[in-house]
Structure formats: structure tokens, C-alpha cells
Chain A
Amino acid sequence: MIRARGVGRTFGEKRVLARVDLDVGAGDLLLVTGPNGAGKTTLLRLLAGLIVPTSGELDVAVDRARIGFLAHEPLVYRELTPLENLELYGRLYRVRERRERIGMLFERFGLWDARHEQTAALSRGMLQRLALCRTLLHDSELLLFDEPFTALDAAGAELLLDELAADAARAIVVASHEPGRLGDRPTSRLSLAPA
């Protein structure tokens, strides 16, 4: 599903990622670790297709519509309500039975009562849960999580771990500087060092 050979990325003069090789297939859960500044976020953005590598070859054989990305930022509009945000994404991703799916996600992640509030008023933890809903709204073959445990309380973390359960049809990549959280779910690991 994903094939990377010697992938690197520079921003202007600064090299952020250097010579990364990896292979990810359906059913895999890749854990990417490393300290701050090692390039974890950059790697995930490369996999998501938001940026292109400046060296090496990267092949992600998944259509954009089937990639879910929990990014560093929640990627939701502060002036809109959680419901309006997911309605927008639902439309853009052509999610079938949009209303039901949004309702189900909100119930599961405890956002149902807050669905008509202004997103700007949500706490950081709730914001992260909303971002999770956004990520899981559409059917994905590839899920990318960038530091997903940030700001989540114990209950939220539990819900997230449920989502990371093995699924033979999906590939998951998680970047985290707290690898212990995932236990032995990861099928492979990649450790990045600052370039």
C-alpha cells in the first residue's frame, strides 16, 4: 500500500527528513517514534499527500478519498458547529448516510450534546475528539494519526485504542512520542532521528 525508498524532504535550506525507507500493507500498524523535530509530522504529511518529497521515491497506492488523517491541528472551522463541520466534510467525502454516520460518531465520542455549540468554545480534549470524528467519518483504507493521544483524557484514549484495533483491510500509521500507549498492537516500528 505504501512504499518509500530514500524519501527525504527539505524546507528551503533546512533538511527535515532524510533517507526514509518503509513498506506498509493492509492489516499493518506502523508506529513511528522519535523526539520532537525528528520529522514525524512531515513524514505523515508526505504519506497523506499534502506535501511531496524533495528526494527519493514515495508511492502511496491509496486514493485521496480513502485516506483519513488525524493531523497536528484539528482541521475544523472554529466558527462552525461540530455538526456543520462534519456535514461539510461529509459532503466533500461523499459519505453515504451522512446524517446517521455523524450521529453515530458523535454518540460514540461523547460529542452529541455539544453538536450545536460553536467549535471555538470546545475544550482541547473535545476538539481532539471532534478531529477524530472527522478522521473516521469516511471509509478509509489508510489511517494516519499524528500524536493522537495529545489532549485526550483516559476515556478518550480508550475510544481511540478501540479504533486502532487490527483490521485486515486497513493500514494504520501512528506517530507518537509515547510508544508505550499502543502496547503490542504495532506490527512494525520506525524510529526517526533529527536529520
Chain B
Amino acid sequence: MSTSLRNNGAALLSLLAAALLVAGFALAFFWAPEAQGDPAFRIFYLHVPVALTAYAAFGWGGWKALRLLWTREARYDLESYVAIHMGVIFGLLALVTGSVWARYTWGVWWTWDERQLVLFLVLFLFYSAYFMLRFSTPAGPRRARTSAVYALFGVALIPVSFLAIRLAERYIHPVVLTRDPKIENEMLVSFFVCLAGMLLLAAALYLVELAGKRADARLRELRELLA
């Protein structure tokens, strides 16, 4: 893929993403009705798309990891790494927005009752360790393969952790804080527009970071050849 096409691709995606996000939030604030019983519900249009995008990023990273192990082609290492980087960024955002939402709904900055939030905390820990792993291992085919295996473990951990969190509730303490808003159709439509926008934003960022890292690698290669 030529440089200009790659650049154009990312630019196009970001434009589309911006358009969708603006449209989505406009719909959410002006068209969709207020949610009963949940004054801070509008954060939902930000928090859930961010969270789902994080999952998608981790999944994409896992897919690229699988491709690396399957084909042993070095380029998948960078693609997997950047995807997981995106996942961690969006995951952090999910934790922050989730925390803010909890503050506005129940008055606390953190609650163990919110399963999604706890799951994100666990995943955040896991994928932060991914970066520690990469940081401590010398670069090369072994680091690529090890990171890929760890990324796949992360994907397997998502459902298992969720199950664990649900099971833990039963003996830790009964869930006290809940939210139970009525979802109307208009809200769903707005939500999906926001979700699409968020996914495209992540894709655009992914392409930009990937291109940047590839350029770095090329530069290093060229320097080495000259040396």
C-alpha cells in the first residue's frame, strides 16, 4: 500500500469518525428521550461505545497474534501490539467514564457492584502486564511470539473473568447498586451511531500509530544499512 493511500485511508476514517460521533452525540442529546431514574444516563452514550471499542481492539490484537503464530510473519507483531495499545487506551477511558458515571448515579467514584467496571480493571491489569513483558524482553522473534501468546491468553481471560466476577458477587456481598433504565428505540439508534463513530475513531488511531511505528522501524533499518 503506498504511503499516500495509507495516509488518505486514515484521514478519511477520522473524518468519518468525527462526523458519526458528532451526529451520534447530537442525536443522543437532542433527539433521544431522557432516561427515567438515571439522571446521568447520557454518559452511557460515551462509556459503552468506548468499552465495546476496547473489547474490539483486544479482539483484533488477539486475531493478529494468532496470525503471527500461524504464519510467523513479523509484521503481525506490530499490528497486534498497536491494537492492544489502542485497547488499553480505550480501556482506561472506559474506567474513567465508568467511574464518572458511578459518581453521578450513586455518589461514589468506584463500586465493585458494577461488573463491567471490575472486568475492565482486571483486563487493564492484564494488558498492562503485556507492556511490562514487552519492555523487559529483548526485541526479536521470541518477544513477538511470547507477546502473541499472552495476547491470546487475554482474549480467553475476558469471558472467564466475567464469569468469575459474577460468581464472586454471590459470596462477597449482594449487589446493592444497580441501574435499570428503560431503553427506548431512539436511544438505541443514537447509541449505534456513537458506537460506529467510536470504532472508526479507534481504527483511524490504529492506522496512524501503525504507520508511525512502521516508519520508525524503516528508519532504523536504513540507519543500520548505512552503518
Chain A: residues with CB nearer than 8 A to chain B?
Answer: 10-13, 15, 52, 54
> Can you give 11 contacting A-B residue pairs, CB < 8 Å?
A10-B140, A11-B138, A11-B140, A12-B138, A12-B139, A12-B140, A13-B139, A15-B224, A52-B141, A54-B140, A54-B141
A12 and chain B: residue at smallest CB distance:
B138
Q: Which 4 A-B pairs have the closest CB atoms?
A: A12-B138, A12-B139, A52-B141, A11-B138
What distance in Å separates the Cβ of B225 from its nearest Cβ neighbour in chain A? 11
Least CB distance from B8 to A in Å reads: 32
Complex Cα gap A126–B224 (Å): 43
Q: Which residues of A contact B139 (CB under 8 A)?
A: 12-13
Besides the contacts A11-B140, A12-B139, what 9 more A-B pairs have beta carbons closer than 8 Å? A10-B140, A11-B138, A12-B138, A12-B140, A13-B139, A15-B224, A52-B141, A54-B140, A54-B141
Taking CB atoms, residues of chain A closer than 8 Å to B141 are 52, 54
* Nearest-Cβ distance from residue B134 to partner chain A, whole angstroms: 12
A10–B138 alpha-carbon span in the complex (Å): 11
A86 CB, min distance to chain B CBs, angstroms:
29
Q: Which residues of B contact A (CB under 8 A)?
A: 138-141, 224
| B226 to A: closest C-beta gap in Å | 13
Separation of A52 and B140 alpha carbons in the complex (Å): 10
Q: Which residue of A lies closest to B137 (CB)?
A: A12
Q: How far is the CB of A75 from chain B (nearest CB, A)?
A: 19
Tell me the bound Cα distance from A4 to B224 in angstroms: 22
Residue of A nearest to B142 (CB): A51
Q: What CA separation (Å) do A54 and B138 show in the bound complex?
A: 14
Cα-based distance from A15 to B17 in the complex (angstroms): 43
**Complex: A11 Cα to B140 Cα, angstroms:** 7
In Å, the complex CA distance between A126 and B100 comes to: 69
List of B residues within 8 angstroms of A52 by Cβ: 141
CA distance A120 to B224 in the complex (A): 43
Q: How far is the CA of A173 from the CA of B12 in the complex (A)?
A: 57
Contacts of A11 in B (CB 8 A): 138, 140
With CB as the reference atom, state the residue of chain A lying closest to B139.
Answer: A12
CB contacts (< 8 Å) of A10 on chain B: these are 140
Contacts of A15 in B (CB 8 A): 224
Return B148 CB to nearest CB of chain A, in Å. Answer: 15
| A12 CA / B137 CA spacing, docked (Å) | 9
Minimum CB–CB distance from B146 to chain A (whole Å) comes to: 14
Q: For A13, what are the chain B residues with a Cβ–Cβ distance below 8 Å?
A: 139
Q: How far apart are the CA atoms of A12 and B135 in the complex, in Å?
A: 12
| Bound form: Cα–Cα A54–B140 in Å | 8
Q: Which residues of A contact B224 (CB under 8 A)?
A: 15
Shortest beta-carbon distance from B158 to chain A in Å: 32
Query: Please, how many angstroms separate the alpha-carbon atoms of A12 and B138 in the complex?
Result: 6
Q: Which residues of A contact B138 (CB under 8 A)?
A: 11-12
Chain B residues with CB below 8 A from A12, complex form: 138-140
B138 to A, closest residue via Cβ: A12
- B138, B140, B141, B224: which has the most chain A beta carbons within 10 Å? B140
Question: How far does the alpha carbon of A54 sit from the alpha carbon of B139 in the complex, in Å?
Answer: 11
Closest chain B CB from A11 CB (angstroms): 6
- In the assembled complex, the CB of A21 is this many whole angstroms from the nearest CB of chain B, namely 19
CB distance from A46 to the nearest CB of B (A): 12
A49 to chain B minimum Cβ distance, whole angstroms, is: 13
Question: Closest A-chain residue to B72, C-beta based?
Answer: A52
